[in-house]
Amino acid sequence: MMHSLSSPYTTGTTSRALLLYSGNSSSSSSSSTQQPSRLNIKTNSFFCDLGTNFCLFNEKGRRDLLYGRRKMTTDNHLRHVESLPVFPSGAGNIPRLNAVILGEALASEENDYVFPSDDFSRNAHVSSPSQYLEMYKRSVEDPAGFWSEIASEFYWEKKWGDKVCSENLDVGKGAVNIEWFKGGITNICYNCLDRNVEIGNGDKVALYWEGNDLGSDDSLTYSQLLEKVCQLANYLKDVGVKKGDAVIIYLPMLMELPIAMLACARIGAIHSVVFAGFSSESLAQRIVDCKPKVVLTCNAVKRGAKVIGLKDIVDAGLAESTKNGVSVDVCLTYENQTALKRENTKWTQGRDIWWQDVVPKYPSTCDVEWVDAEDPLFLLYTSGSTGKPKGVLHTTGGYMVYTATTFKYAFDYKPSDIYWCTADCGWITGHSYVTYGPLLNGASCIVFEGAPTYPDASRCWDIVDKYKVSIFYTAPTLVRSLMREGTQHVTRYSRKSLRVLGSVGEPINPSAWRWFFNVVGDSRCPISDTWWQTETGGFMITPLPGAWAQKPGSATYPFFGVQPVIVDEKGNELEGECSGYLCVKHSWPSAFRTLFGDHERYETTYFKPFPGYYFTGDGCSRDKDGYYWLTGRVDDVINVSGHRIGTAEVESALVSHPQCAEAAVVGVEHEVKGQGIYAFVTLVEGVPYSEDLRKSLVMAVRTQIGAFATPDKIHWAPGLPKTRSGKIMRRILRKIASRQLDELGDISTLAEPAVVDQLIALADK
């Protein structure tokens, strides 16, 4: 099938152009290897012979555009094109749409398509929709063969058996069970470090460390990192840590944090990293649950201009856990001299040990503890609806293979790249895409201790230029925060090294996506807008930056081996354009295997809602072009008079207003509508609150979504309650909106606890 579209362009003189496409337009079950027909087309003075590419010819017959991407001098950067990508769960052909060429155009409309440049695609690991389709089709039709080939690229002391994958996701057929590469014997630390040294990467920088204060930095090569990991591993063994024992790591973003993770993995211990912003009560909860042999921490950390006494928090947490019957005999403490000297650190003799006094004395080589692919690698606690944190358990082999593969393809990683993920290792992003995924690929990564806006809002771009960062991965919250500070903080830095941008943590609203793309990436860097979870271990739905066009705010298409489905309330799969509950059928290698000590809760939470599927807990829409749009947690869906409205959708509409810097929406009880929409709105710096502005914001929502989505309340917010990692605490916002002020709970983990009092004071104004 061939589609053509005649479209006018203004180039300085009036001319006409014809855009033509010839490609595979059959259904999603068609093989991507079919050869499309070659077409001869003559329209007025236009004549072309097409294979699988777009061709644009002017009146003189000169080719101006190949695959809709080659640079063309024009005042109107919006190209009207047609395309026929055929994807696994797509809803058919794509009609006329707005395409934006990277490096040339500004994205400005909700349905813009943003194409990678021709050069980017040509050099990408996955360079076209057809290549993706071929790989994706094999990954779901022959998962054992597909993943075995990739797994064979890593070192295995013993190869797995004939059965690559075993699974049962249907609670009606017995206990939920997932296994990948069982019987295979390996070690993820060996594959991250020893393997890289052996292939010649020993002198390559593995970790660049950028401290909180300007001018404070360090680095470790792969050989140096291996030595430090071995020294700590030997110490842990010497104090009695064995394979299968738990170790709590409560450290800030020092290089010692990934060192500690890798040291545990090397000896088969199970690490549980607790974000060094959690309160002593939260830390104690996790200690009691996993009963660690050792706690690793540091005395203090500087976050911006503020010093946080981590050792004091650990002391209180250990005292609390002891009251609850779990004592820890060893607290290894790193002296972070820039934040606090050891003489000013409270100390418990016999339990507390200075890291620098003992670890460097141990040998810099350490034998590897070879483990089964299904042996536990780490625990990571995530919040639950009951208040008790859930200990998500990930195993070794499948997680190793999947995180390495997703990192490589989603960021189009090349050995020359310098990679920076701004996440803390206290969260899953820091596990998969600060530590394991990058190091398994031999990457050079940045570990940043400080706050991204300290000493001012230009810090990120100062770091990008300093290290020549080419892949920058961050959260929408930070993007919106930097937007609020103004473009001048960005544009005074070069950023020419940037090649790929990434987004993680929540759906990114289109206006923030465009700012990130246009301002930070100079309209030339694809954005890998990744959807995944602590439970999934790695990316599930994500752009492959050289393979297809992107829509601002959409996670686009599933990664290899991932089979997402959208179901209704009865669990029926919905086809084509639809909205509903996002589930996944069939397992993938990095899926979590259980909740620590509570397999029943694991089944009840994730597999009983829709038997036979993994229920993500997220709402999702698939548009007519097959693109996936995450609408937020299902418990963040507001039911207004029978209309199910995603909070992310309302927030996106509010933030599209030029005077709105950030918004967070929650549902409140409404006597007529069931639930009403309550919006917390942070304005652009210097913009005053006013009734006219409130009406304008309401109109923005009515215009973009509909009258049914009109916010019932606009609550002016000088700031929003966030964790130190930037996550908005909507639980607190719900309590404020509902006036349940005596149920706010623990706010000690917030970056700025005083924000809560400000919001309460402004509640009725």
Residue 318: CA count within 13 A, CB half-sphere? 24
Closest CA to 156 of 188, 193, 199: 188
d(CA 178, CA 536): 12
Residues in Cβ contact with 261 at an 8 Å cutoff, skipping those fewer than 6 apart? 249, 271, 273, 378, 425, 431, 435
d(CA 67, CA 115): 9
| Locus of tokens 């790591």 | 249
Question: Is 635 labeled as catalytic in the residue annotation?
Answer: yes
Q: Which amino acid is at 334?
A: Y
d(CA 424, CA 434): 8
The secondary structure of 292-310, three-state, reads: CCEEEEECCEEECCEEECH
d(CA 293, CA 295): 7
Which class for 642: exposed (0-12), middle (13-18), buried (19 or more C-beta within 10 A)?
exposed
Q: Which amino acid is at 190?
A: Y
Helix (H, G, I), strand (E, B) or coil at 211: coil
Could you tell me which residues are beta bridge partners of residue 115?
A: 101
> Is there a contact between 231 and 363 (Cβ–Cβ < 8 Å)?
yes
| Locus of tokens 């005083």 | 754
Helix (H, G, I), strand (E, B) or coil at 391: strand
> Is there a contact between 218 and 255 (Cβ–Cβ < 8 Å)?
yes
Query: Length of the chain, please?
Result: 765
312, 465, 598, 635: the catalytic one is 635
d(CA 198, CA 155): 11
Residues in Cβ contact with 706 at an 8 Å cutoff, skipping those fewer than 6 apart? none
Give CA separation, 332 vs 303, 351, 444, 696, in Å: 22, 8, 28, 55
Could you tell me which residues are beta bridge partners of residue 473?
A: 421, 502
- For the chain, the first-to-last Cα distance in angstroms comes to 60
Q: What are phi and psi of 377, to 5 degrees?
A: -105, -50
Token output for 728: 């908005």
308 CB neighbour count, 10 Å cutoff: 16
Closest CA to 683 of 647, 652, 658: 658
DSSP designation for 707: G
Q: What are the residue numbers of the active site?
A: 635
